[in-house]
Structure 1
């Protein structure tokens, strides 16, 4: 009797999503797995969306024309039908893995009517073969959403399906927000994409406009013109935006000091960091210290 009463109070939208997914698993892979140094897997591809959080060590994902490195605390999202090879780093790697069919996000989109807000269509483009691989750095909330999905799928406690669907919806929104804030969602310019990818992957380092332009394969003037055209920002302004976004994440979710966050995010001096932070956030970084 108690179970029936509880079920009658469960949100209908969650019941509807679960019913639509009937016969499909909420995840095909959900586990922690360790790889020995240099261990490889692939090349292979699959319809599933693959998410890996690097819990320990380093690893590489080899695609057709590029190799992306991942370090502890970073997240990779490999989209459907992208051929890739995994390679563990020199000290091995431990991953938190989650793989599921794209239909799960599609079902959430349609049932919750996220497309009316623009999120639904964004997710269709976001998790497409064209994006190949998404790298997420220093985002504790996304990591925790993945962790909660794994925990519920492993424990299978009462109503775990409902919680998993809720966490998938949270994951979809958090990833879409991250991409909106950190990378240009719609841009077909190859040089611009290379520049943005390089900045997002190397923002901790001492990089300059000339280095970014070289990595993008174009001149500095052309690079500046592209950033103004697509983002209405200079390359340096975009770099600082990325660094401040990471700084906010660290200040809110770790015990690190303002000085530690300053240098970890690629700034050379706490004074300059505080000035740029206040310009972008309208508050001192000290106000966000956990």
Structure 2
């Protein structure tokens, strides 16, 4: 959970009960912390630069242009293009449990500098270039993005003479990781316009449909019509994971589904997911879910017996 420092609460002025704003301005970004202490509806907000919004505590209902309304909760973030209007409801805000959210507006020049660097050093396949999204992107923070946002929240509120330098370095990593996260979403979404024309999307779909088969870099690179080294580099650039990391993640997702059947044998599960070794499967599963496959499955056996 994101936390605000004691210094923040000492220095901020509480002047409004709805979207009370505390702002910090640096060379290439501004961070705003918004606090709401009463229920409210249809509160309007807009920024001149692209913005990353992340929930700290509480719940909002977001109404964005051309989208269905959705709950915005702690652990989630939202990327909005410049000048995108937001209409926000606060159905649960109270004086003793306020809603808190951070919004970080990042200058277009800084984003362009970072995407230029990515295109020079991390080129995509098929001539597609990295660029800031011109649409809304709502996602759950993965551990790496969460850690960066947490660090930025601290840096902006810290009184340090070099914080512009520190923040610029963190912004570069944040934007790179968010663009890779967005790219990963595109390559796993059959409805996206780029999905059907991308070789990486084709490989992602092939992996997901053949998890029980041996999946090697040699095999996948051949299907992508690339050399092994080029395929590995491009895949990792666009997905943010190596091909083997992505394959293992997808296999563990499938295992999670299969283990919800309490009658399924562990051996059947790891073979159906493409693992040849139970010890390797156990190690990866426990690293991801923090429990062993058998312990995870036992929860569903207990539920079945209780019913």
Superposed counterparts of 1:41-56, under 5 Å? 41-42=43-44, 44-56=45-57
| Structure having the higher Rg | 2
* Counterpart Cα distance in 1 of 2:39 and 2:272: 39
User: Residue 145 of structure 2 is aligned with which of 135, 139, 142?
Assistant: 142
Superposed counterparts of 1:3-22, under 5 Å? none
Q: Residue in 1 aligned with 2:107?
A: 101
What is the aligned length?
Answer: 211
What is the Cα-based RMSD across aligned positions, in Å?
Answer: 4.6
Q: Residue in 2 aligned with 1:152?
A: 155
Superposed counterparts of 1:254-273, under 5 Å? 262=256, 268-269=260-261
* Counterpart Cα distance in 2 of 1:103 and 1:61: 28
* Counterpart Cα distance in 1 of 2:90 and 2:272: 36
Assess if the C-alpha contact under 8 Å between 1:30 and 1:153 holds in 2: no
Q: Residue in 1 aligned with 2:14?
A: none
Measured after TM superposition, the shift of residue 85 of structure 1 is: 1.5
* Counterpart Cα distance in 1 of 2:184 and 2:155: 29
Q: Residue in 1 aligned with 2:191?
A: 192
Task: For residue 66 of structure 2, give the secondary structure of its aligned residue in structure 1.
Answer: coil
Q: Residue in 1 aligned with 2:118?
A: 114
Measured after TM superposition, the shift of residue 74 of structure 1 is: 0.9
Measured after TM superposition, the shift of residue 118 of structure 1 is: 4.2
Superposed counterparts of 1:231-246, under 5 Å? 231=202, 237=208
Task: For residue 83 of structure 2, give the secondary structure of its aligned residue in structure 1.
Answer: coil
Question: Which structure dedicates a bigger proportion of its chain to helix?
Answer: 1
Q: Do the aligned partners of residues 76 and 159 (structure 1) sit closer, same or farther apart at CA in structure 2, a change above 3 Å counting? A: same
Assess if the C-alpha contact under 8 Å between 1:227 and 1:234 holds in 2: no
Q: Residue in 2 aligned with 1:286?
A: 286
Q: Spell out, residue by residue over 1:209-228, the C-alpha distance to the aligned partner (whole angstroms, 9 max, x if none).
A: xxxxxxxxxxxxxxxx9999
Unmatched segments (≥5 aa) in structure 1: 1-22, 197-224, 252-257
* Counterpart Cα distance in 1 of 2:155 and 2:147: 12
Q: Do the aligned partners of residues 39 and 285 (structure 1) sit closer, same or farther apart at CA in structure 2, a change above 3 Å counting? A: same
Assess if the C-alpha contact under 8 Å between 1:60 and 1:67 holds in 2: no
Measured after TM superposition, the shift of residue 175 of structure 1 is: 0.7
* Counterpart Cα distance in 2 of 1:235 and 1:68: 33
Q: Do the aligned partners of residues 164 and 233 (structure 1) sit closer, same or farther apart at CA in structure 2, a change above 3 Å counting? A: closer
* Counterpart Cα distance in 2 of 1:156 and 1:38: 33
* Counterpart Cα distance in 2 of 1:123 and 1:229: 15
Assess if the C-alpha contact under 8 Å between 1:123 and 1:172 holds in 2: no
Q: Spell out, residue by residue over 1:76-115, the C-alpha distance to the aligned partner (whole angstroms, 9 max, x if none).
A: 11111323312224456321322222222223344xx322
Task: For residue 175 of structure 1, give the secondary structure of its aligned residue in structure 2.
Answer: helix
